[in-house]
Amino acid sequence: MDVRRSLEQRVGAALGARVVEAAVLGGGDVSEAYRMGLEDGRMVFAKTHRNPPPGFFATEAASLAWLGESGAVRVPSVLAVDDASLVLEWIPEGRRSADVASEAAFGAELAALHAAGAPYFGRVDRAATTSRSLPNEPADSWAEFFATNRLLPLARLAAEASALSDATIAAIEAMAGRLNELGVPAEAPARLHGDLWAGNRLVDLDGHSWLIDPAAFGGHREFDLAMMDLFGGFGPECWAAYDDVAPLADGWQARVPLHQLAPLITHAIKFGGAYVGAVDRALAAAGRLG
């Protein structure tokens, strides 16, 4: 049985209504996603994975619930989840034009999400996240978390994949050992989306923002902001509203390359190409901090 047919059967069984239409959705590089219509008129979002790591979709479902519990942001409701699939409510998208009100509202909502906080840096359930299954073991400080759960594991993965030079891998490991020297302000752990690029934010027909595909954990709020900056897609009103609600510490923009190291190394492992040089440039910029 092909992947789509198997997913249709699981969705129908879980929701108690036969799938009568299914359309492939693009945009992901890990899972296969579909818009599915049910015989009772409901429309849902469903995705599957040909070889999911243990707990892959359960972790995403838990991440959505954790973000939603903050009361600060909108997330789609989880309708069904199992080892091989996740089914969410369908969010009809509007046109993401230069909507000043939507951008400003999202900036304020994101500040409120971060302020909702986390028990510590990491995840309570210790579940791995991201396409590289990075650990989220609890840590007492941002520096400890970023070193032991992001930079060092990614350096090992890059070495195993021969994705980066020996010199670059050594530089990443050295950076992990001096994070406390780089001027990142000491803050309580924030409640992070964890993979906040523009593609993981939906804007609905009413201009409201929704967050999807989280890799949530307790971390430094500058991490989410650095991810937003990496690929763009967030208007100036978003940034201004965030800073109005939760002013950022001096020098945060200079620290963006440091926080971008994790996604850049991940992309260098997955895609190579220009991301290899981007890792070296981020390392150089981060090395000038402190």
Q: Would you place residue 50 in the very low, low, confident or very high pLDDT band (cuts 50, 70, 90)?
A: confident
E strand segments, 13-68: 19-25, 32-38, 43-48
pLDDT by residue (tens digit) across 230-257?
Answer: 999 999 999 999 999 999 999 999 999 9
Q: Which fold has domain 100-287?
A: Aminoglycoside 3'-phosphotransferase; Chain: A, domain 2 (3.90.1200)
140-168 pLDDT, tens per residue?
A: 999 999 999 999 999 999 999 999 999 99
Name every residue whose Cβ is closer than 8 Å to that of residue 9 and which is 6 or more positions away in sequence: 1, 19
Domain locations in the chain as residue ranges: 3-89, 100-287
> What is the maximum span of the chain, computed from C-alpha positions, in angstroms?
60
What DSSP letter does each residue of 126-182 carry, written as one string?
Answer: ---BTTTTB----BSSHHHHHIIIIIHHHHHHHHHTT-S-HHHHHHHHHHHTSGGGS
Asked if residue 97 has pLDDT above 70, the reply is: no
Predicted local confidence at residue 49, as pLDDT? 87
CATH architecture of 3-89: 2-Layer Sandwich (3.30)
pLDDT at 110: 98
Residue given tokens 């923002």 in the structure block? 209
Give the model's confidence band at 29: pLDDT under 50 very low, under 70 low, under 90 confident, else very high: low
Task: Tell me which of 195, 213, 224, 229 is the catalytic residue.
Answer: 195
pLDDT tens-digit profile of 170-217?
Answer: 999 999 999 999 999 999 999 999 999 999 999 999 999 999 999 999
Q: What is the rounded distance in angstroms from the CA atom of residue 145 to the CA atom of residue 136? A: 8
Active site residue 195: yes
Give the H or E element holding residue 63: helix 56-69
Amino acid at 157: L
The DSSP 8-state label assigned to residue 255 in this structure reads G
Q: At what angle do helices 256-271 and 152-160 cross, to 10 degrees?
A: 30
